[in-house]
């Protein structure tokens, strides 16, 4: 893994956005795997600025998001669909038909998983996958488990994830289930960029970089990827 440590979250976001801009400028119809959460927001801000400055265009770019909550209307203010539109898509020239999400309300999640895998394969797979990391080492919504998953699946969220994400839902109880790309789908991306900032991620990062690959710490699987870049701020790197 190519580990890069930055003095600040701002410097990290500059570098992360730059990697995406280079990918898109080399291949105008690049396929991006995208993530939600607080971590990628500064990176998305810089991509919007770069688009407005004429440095990058999303005209032919395709995107696949990692995950989506179940039992939440698509346009709910807390859905990841809404999040991505507010944080990125509404501010750049991406075409709505090129934006892909798992449907958290699909009646048959297995059929939905198959549809998503086929859609990814049809466009030649993901060129660059952006990942955050949960405090328990989850990526997407692949929670610590006994085995690594492969294709997208329906997950029961752990209490630690619920505790971390409930704040976005205020007084409304947050969903207990989500659909997420599996570890296999994530690992099939040609390049992976994991970003982590802040002390709360330090333990998960140290575990991931210890070298042991275990589904108890899902992000550790990135040790097996041929082109994984890990960008950390000093706080996230504080105990490696």
Catalogue the active-site residues.
67, 136, 138, 143
Whole-angstrom Cα distance, residue 130 to residue 191?
9
Nearest to ligand GLP of 8, 28 (CB atom): 8
The binder of ligand GLP chosen from 104, 137, 140, 175 (CB under 6 A): 140
- Using DSSP's 3-state secondary structure scheme, residue 14 falls into helix
- Least Å distance, CB 134 to ligand GLP, is 5
Q: DSSP assignment, residue 220?
A: G
Find the part of the chain contacting ligand GLP (CB under 6 A) among 30-38, 87-95, 169-177, 223-231.
Answer: 30-38
Q: Which two tokens stand for residue 216?
A: 């108890």
Residues 74-133 that bind ligand GLP (CB under 6 A): 132-133
Residue 161 found at the interface with ligand GLP (CB under 6 A): yes
Listed residue (21, 49, 41) closest to 84, CA to CA: 41
Q: Which two tokens stand for residue 71?
A: 């039992």
Residue 67 found at the interface with ligand GLP (CB under 6 A): yes
Residue 37 found at the interface with ligand GLP (CB under 6 A): yes
- Least Å distance, CB 80 to ligand GLP, is 8
- Using DSSP's 3-state secondary structure scheme, residue 123 falls into coil
Quickly count: other Cβ atoms within 10 Å of residue 212's Cβ.
Answer: 11
The binder of ligand GLP chosen from 9, 31, 48, 66 (CB under 6 A): 66
Residue 39 found at the interface with ligand GLP (CB under 6 A): yes
C-alpha neighbours within 13 Å on the C-beta side of residue 59: 8
- Least Å distance, CB 132 to ligand GLP, is 3
Listed residue (233, 152, 157) closest to 194, CA to CA: 233
Given the rule CB under 6 A, which residues bind ligand GLP?
A: 35-39, 66-67, 132-134, 140-141, 161, 165
């Amino acid at each position: 893994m190519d580990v890069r440590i930055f003095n600040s979250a701002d410097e990290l976001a500059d570098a992360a956005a730059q990697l995406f801009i280079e990918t898109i400028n080399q291949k105008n119809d690049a396929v991006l795997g995208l993530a939600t959460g607080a971590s990628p927001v500064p990176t998305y801000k810089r991509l919007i600025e770069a688009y407005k400055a004429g440095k990058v265009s999303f005209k032919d770019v395709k995107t696949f998001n990692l995950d989506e909550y179940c039992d939440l209307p698509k346009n709910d203010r807390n859905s990841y669909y809404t999040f991505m539109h507010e944080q990125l898509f509404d501010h750049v020239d991406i075409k709505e038909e090129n934006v892909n999400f798992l449907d958290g309300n699909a009646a048959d999640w297995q059929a939905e998983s198959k549809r998503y895998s086929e859609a990814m394969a049809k466009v030649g797979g993901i060129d660059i996958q952006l990942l955050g990391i949960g405090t328990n080492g989850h990526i997407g919504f692949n929670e610590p488990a006994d085995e690594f998953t492969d294709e997208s699946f329906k997950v029961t969220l752990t209490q630690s994830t619920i505790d971390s994400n409930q704040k976005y839902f205020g007084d409304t109880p947050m969903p207990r289930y989500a659909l997420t790309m599996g570890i296999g789908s994530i690992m099939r991306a040609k390049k992976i960029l994991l970003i982590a900032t802040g002390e709360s991620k330090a333990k998960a990062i140290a575990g991931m970089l210890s070298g042991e690959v275990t589904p108890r710490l899902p992000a550790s699987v990135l040790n097996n990827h041929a082109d994984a870049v890990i960008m950390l701020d000093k706080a996230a790197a504080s105990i490696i």
